[in-house]
Amino acid sequence: MSETQTVAVPPARGAAQAVRRPRQGLSLLVIATAQLMVVLDATVTNVALPRIQEALRFSAANLSWVVNAYALAFGGLLLLGGRAGDLLGRRRMFVVGLLVFSAASLAGGFATSTGWLLAARAVQGAGGAIVAPAALSLIVTTFPEGRPRARAMGVYSAMSVAGGALGLVAGGLLVNYASWRWVLFVNVPFGVAAALAAPLVLAGAPRMAGRLDIPGALTGTAGVAALVYGLSGAATGPDGVSHWGDAKVVVSLAAGVVLLAAFGLVEARSRHALLPGRLLRDRARLGANLIMLGVGTVLFGVFFFLTLFAQEVWGYSAIRTGVAFLPLTGAVLAGSVVASTLLPRVGARPLLLAGTAGCAGGLFWLSLMTENAGYAGGLLGPILVTAAGLGLLFVPLPLVALAGVADSDSGVAASLLNATRQIGGAVGLAMLSTVAWTVTAGSTRAHGDHRHALVAGFDRAFAVAAGIAVLTLLVTIATIRKERR
């Protein structure tokens, strides 16, 4: 049908479309590069942590902040970054975010102290919080509804998931054959190139009327940051010691709840709300964000526990672990292609149902693994099923969350979806870690076999994650309408 319509247009319009198609391809390349860079950076440093600890003399307790500093800034500033794009111009903020991210990466690569590196990682997270919602909203404003937007969203979604797995591979290669500093330096040429290309290939958009909601920005950002900080420090560690009762954890979680409650009050009374209540009145949009909470748990849990399983149970090296994740990347890409092809024909609901069911089945299959299972027989099958389910989800979810959103709200709607994934990942990973390490500690005391105890703990975490995936399936049934969106 689309081919017939293209032939039937007047020559001037057809010529305009012919010019626009290569530009749309370049636009997608720039957006996808930026998204891949932001997502990849969440995992690329993981395999470099031992070298970073040795080089900069991090204590064992502080080493996790190389990851957490990025996650805190990224999750806490997403809503503010999305609204800034709406008010100041999405293309402009996209470029600003890329330059901030690249500069922080360069500074972090030259770090000679722990404070220097952690500050650079926090600024990287701030840059990512500006780039991520701008990239998603630029897809909505650049590609028309229907097949072009579905295909673009498929590429964007594939980058969102594949970046995590590719980060493990790239990190292992850079650490082994170059230096840990290159896990940061590698961002610079890609970020600068994307920032320079963006004004040439991305269409500009007028600024939206309104003002930045400073009270909402302060309470919302601080509330999310406090919540993520508390949850990051609350999870039970590998020694089986719970930190939920630690004073700093309790204070952080309480402060997060109070600040988020204050954020809700501020937003209800503000004429220029950072998170307008109208965005959550749509049942399908609310459902999409709730589903993304569950997806964040699944995504963070799969990468975290499978990485530990491969290295601590099977004794894989960092590079071999990264390579083991490559089929997951391929399955996500395949699922995204299928979803972008079927979405205009069947709508979002069947894809979301199939995706959540696939995730639940794959995670339950993972919960049956044993320490004696091989990669091909024990791990490959379930990660392919789980990854294919994720691929089916990541294309329709942003489209449902952004369907019918006014241009003035597209940035904050996009940032809300990213924020729910980050929060879902933080909450879910803290909960799954508590389950895993508690079971591991109990099994070690009972049987004395630490390797077997690790498997028991990881299997229990995968089983709980499967239960969360089932809940997302029920949310899909209850909230996503049958008609196409």
What tens digit of pLDDT does each residue of 398-416 get?
A: 888 888 787 767 777 877 8
Residue 457 in domain = yes
How far apart, in whole angstroms, are the C-alpha atoms of residue 112 and residue 220?
A: 33
Q: Which position has the token pair 């004429």? A: 271
| pLDDT at 78 (0 to 100) | 83
| pLDDT at 384 (0 to 100) | 93
CA distances from 181 to 59, 196, 245, 445 (A): 19, 24, 36, 40
Report the 3 state secondary structure along 343-375.
HHHHCHHHHHHHHHHHHHHHHHHHCCCCCCCCH
Q: pLDDT at residue 131 above 60?
A: yes
Same domain for 301 and 232 = no
Give Dmax (Cα) for the chain. Answer: 78
Q: Are 106 and 188 in contact (CB under 8 A)?
A: yes
Q: What is the mean pLDDT of residues 192-204?
A: 88
Residue of 108 and 234 predicted with greater confidence: 108
Residue 34 in domain = yes
| pLDDT at 232 (0 to 100) | 67
Same domain for 138 and 174 = yes
Same domain for 287 and 266 = no
Q: Are 122 and 131 in contact (CB under 8 A)?
A: no
How far apart, in whole angstroms, are the C-alpha atoms of residue 208 and residue 169?
A: 41
Return the structure tokens found at 137.
């909203």
Same domain for 186 and 40 = yes
| pLDDT at 365 (0 to 100) | 94
Residue 142 in domain = yes
Range of the domain at 150: 20-199
Same domain for 389 and 431 = yes
Mean predicted lDDT score pLDDT of the chain:
82
CATH code assigned at 144: 1.20.1250.20
Q: What is the mean pLDDT of residues 314-333?
A: 82
Confidence of residue 21 (pLDDT cuts 50, 70, 90): very low
Q: What is the mean pLDDT of residues 448-470?
A: 90
Residue of 322 and 378 predicted with greater confidence: 378
Q: pLDDT at residue 15 above 60?
A: no
Q: Is 315 left (phi over 0), alpha (psi -120 to 50) or beta?
A: left
Q: What is the mean pLDDT of residues 387-393?
A: 91
Name the burial class of residue 320, with classes exposed (0-12), middle (13-18) and buried (19+) by CB atoms within 10 angstroms of its CB: middle
Residue 204 in domain = no
Q: Which amino acid type is present at position 379?
A: L
Residue 173 in domain = yes
Q: Which amino acid type is present at position 435?
A: V
Same domain for 108 and 187 = yes
Same domain for 288 and 262 = no
Residue 205 in domain = no
Q: What is the mean pLDDT of residues 228-235?
A: 71
Q: Which position has the token pair 């996808």? A: 32
Domain boundary among 273, 295, 319: 273
Q: pLDDT at residue 229 above 90?
A: no
Same domain for 299 and 264 = no
Same domain for 43 and 181 = yes
Residue 264 in domain = yes
Same domain for 224 and 82 = no
Domain boundary among 273, 292, 322: 273
How far apart, in whole angstroms, are the C-alpha atoms of residue 203 and residue 200?
A: 8
Q: What is the mean pLDDT of residues 101-117?
A: 95
How many residues can be counted in the chain? 485
How many structural domains comprise the chain? 3
Confidence of residue 237 (pLDDT cuts 50, 70, 90): low
Q: Is 236 left (phi over 0), alpha (psi -120 to 50) or beta?
A: beta
Confidence of residue 304 (pLDDT cuts 50, 70, 90): confident
Nearest alpha-carbon partner for 93 in 121, 132, 123, 122: 132
Same domain for 314 and 256 = no
Same domain for 32 and 163 = yes
Residue 10 in domain = no
Q: What is the mean pLDDT of residues 179-188?
A: 92
pLDDT per position as a tens digit, 47-101 = 787 788 889 988 755 676 787 788 778 877 888 888 888 788 889 999 999 999 9
Residue of 20 and 245 predicted with greater confidence: 245
